[in-house]
Amino acid sequence: MASGDVFEPQTKSLSVPRVNLPTMFRLGLFQMGLSMMSILTLGVLNRVMIQEIAIPATLVALVLALPLFVAPSRIWFGQISDAKPLWGYHRTAYVWVGAAIFAIAAFLAVQVMWQLNLAASSTNGWVWTTQTIGWIAVLGLMFAVYGLAICASGTAFAALLVDISEEDNRSQVVGVVWSMLMVGIIIGAIISSSLLKQLTPEATVETLQAAVNKLFIIVPAIVFGLAIAATFGVEKKYSHYSSRSTLVNREDSITLGNAWKILTASPQTGLFFTFLVVMTLCLFIQDPVLEPYAGQVFGMPLAESTKLNVFYGIGLLIAYGVTGFLIVPRLGKRRTTRLGCMLVAFCALLLGISGFTANAAFLKLSLVLFGLATGFLTTGAISLMLDLTAAEAAGTFIGAWGLAQSISRGIAVVIGGTVLDIGRRVLPNLELAYGLVFALEAVGMVVSIWFLNRVNVTEFQTNTKQAIASVLESDLD
């Protein structure tokens, strides 16, 4: 790509303008795009593969979790974005390149899925054959590439949020940016539902294939455009990286080894990492089963079950808007996060109970409340996460927190599908089988509070400053 107005080496003045509200909303376009992509994978593909194609739920969960299991790459991508500017920028170029790759990989993954369906349909049901094993391997590869691109793009973007924000406006940045993520869930659900609305339970595979292919051309193209629009010019104008980092002009000092020393200097890093793992695992354990739950227990068609994300998104959108500006400034980040954990546990139980009522309205109300609770929790947790990040290794820390979230989310997807399969075998009805997943989610969320109560931001900041000083001294030696 030619250099010019888009990619020119940054020259920062001593005075960096404070990021304004319109820019926060523009940055949120990137998160909006990511949530639209998640609707395609966890809201459409999981249902198509489990119900329409009849691939075992555990296998589907494993494949869909692969983008999350490549999350260790986040630490490397974060360290690279700290140390090696691409086209003159520490964050922006990584966001754009990653977005281009994951948009293409998503479409290719769907084409592989149809080939897997052909291989499976030739045996009149799911059977392990050379063909099905081969196509599963290729499908897994496509999802791994998709995940690596998400890691590169998402880690650089989150590090950019650290670079442009201050401690006193961080919860506002998080609230606005993550509220746009929920807008993406709503828009993605509406687009998906409208493009799939012609499908009926009796629709042929050919009709299903045409509709899903169209969906996976239109949405990824929109998402790539949103990634460019969200970040264009932001780093050049608002980033504090050059003024905050004592290592900015000594990029040879930000080796992976030195970044790891800073990352592991405080025991608080391990405590918060563990909290993120447990909390995220419990928050997303219902992800792979929600749409099948709506289809099998409530009898909803594909288009209607996909639209359930709208109700979840409405709750999240309200919570993000309120929490970042009103709740966190009053309760504080830790207390807001603790309250969110308790609310999520309660709402998970409501989701399980809704199955016994067979009332779709109760399910939708439970999802709105679940979205509200999730918004409280994630706004508090992400604001706390950005505080637990050193400017000199922001990308590396964001990579570590992203690793915790992604690995646990991947494990959650696998656990959700596996627990559902076990429940369907050992329990007398589907309501109990799905209820088992939601009950496990509630119990785990309560456990995560134990780790949260032991996190100390002041101790973390003291330890990391000492580690950074040690890195600088060793360089001078």
pLDDT bracket for residue 77 (50, 70, 90): confident
- Is pLDDT at 221 greater than 60 in this prediction? yes
The alpha carbon of residue 472 and the mean position of all alpha carbons in its chain are separated, in whole angstroms, by 34
Helices (H) and strands (E) in the chain, counts: 21, 0
Q: What number of other Cβ atoms are within 10 A of residue 325's Cβ?
A: 14
The three-class DSSP label of residue 128 is coil
User: Crossing angle for the helix pair 256-263 and 457-476, nearest 10 degrees?
Assistant: 150
pLDDT at position 84 is: 77
Which domain does 137 fall in, by range? Answer: 21-476
Please state, in angstroms and rounded to a whole number, the distance separating the CA atoms of residues 445 and 349. 11
pLDDT bracket for residue 431 (50, 70, 90): confident
Percent above pLDDT 90 for the chain: 14
- Considering 138-142, 167-171, 267-271, 457-461, the range whose residues carry the highest mean pLDDT is 138-142
- Considering 14-18, 115-119, 339-343, 459-463, the range whose residues carry the highest mean pLDDT is 339-343
- Is pLDDT at 108 greater than 90 in this prediction? yes
The three-class DSSP label of residue 86 is strand
In a domain, 443, yes or no: yes
Please state, in angstroms and rounded to a whole number, the distance separating the CA atoms of residues 276 and 272. 6
Question: Among 40-44, 80-84, 92-96, 403-407, whose mean pLDDT is lowest?
Answer: 403-407
pLDDT at position 252 is: 45
User: Phi/psi of residue 89, each to 5°?
Assistant: -125, 140
In a domain, 2, yes or no: no
pLDDT at position 209 is: 82
Q: What is the dihedral of CA 275, 278, 281, 282, to 10 degrees?
A: -110
Which of 186 and 143 is assigned the larger pLDDT? Answer: 143
In a domain, 6, yes or no: no
pLDDT bracket for residue 70 (50, 70, 90): confident
In a domain, 13, yes or no: no
- Is pLDDT at 467 greater than 80 in this prediction? no
pLDDT at position 3 is: 40
Q: Note the residue count of the chain.
A: 477
In a domain, 12, yes or no: no
Q: In the chain, helix, strand, coil percent, each to 5?
A: 80, 0, 20
pLDDT at position 477 is: 44
In a domain, 14, yes or no: no
pLDDT at position 146 is: 93
List of residues 6+ apart from 162 with CB closer than 8 A: 386, 389, 391, 394, 398
pLDDT at position 311 is: 85
Mean pLDDT of 431-453: 89
Please state, in angstroms and rounded to a whole number, the distance separating the CA atoms of residues 347 and 172. 25
- Is pLDDT at 151 greater than 80 in this prediction? yes
Mean pLDDT of 209-220: 87
Which of 261 and 356 is assigned the larger pLDDT? Answer: 356
**Which pTM does this prediction carry?**
0.68
- Is pLDDT at 147 greater than 50 in this prediction? yes
In a domain, 1, yes or no: no
Please state, in angstroms and rounded to a whole number, the distance separating the CA atoms of residues 67 and 163. 26
CA atoms within 13 A on the CB side of 8: 8
Q: Report pLDDT digits (tens) over 390-422.
A: 666 666 677 776 777 777 877 887 788 888 888
- Give the tokens for residue 331: 């309760």
What is the tally of structural domains in the chain? 1
pLDDT at position 313 is: 77
Q: Using the CB atoms, write b or e for 139-148: b if 16+ within 10 Å.
A: bbebbbbbbb
Please state, in angstroms and rounded to a whole number, the distance separating the CA atoms of residues 228 and 395. 20
CATH number at residue 91: 1.20.1250.20
Q: Report pLDDT digits (tens) over 311-358.
A: 887 888 788 778 877 887 888 888 888 999 999 999 999 998 988 888
- Is pLDDT at 14 greater than 70 in this prediction? no
Q: Report pLDDT digits (tens) over 435-444.
A: 888 999 999 9
Question: Among 175-189, 290-304, 381-395, whose mean pLDDT is lowest?
Answer: 381-395
* Average pLDDT score, the chain: 79
In a domain, 445, yes or no: yes
Please state, in angstroms and rounded to a whole number, the distance separating the CA atoms of residues 273 and 271. 5
The three-class DSSP label of residue 72 is coil
Q: What number of other Cβ atoms are within 10 A of residue 205's Cβ?
A: 13
Task: Give me the DSSP letters along 186-254.
Answer: HHHHHHHHHHHTT--TT--HHHHHHHHHHHHHHHHHHHHHHHHHHHTTHHHHH--HHHH-TTTT-GGG-
pLDDT at position 202 is: 64
Which of 189 and 94 is assigned the larger pLDDT? Answer: 94
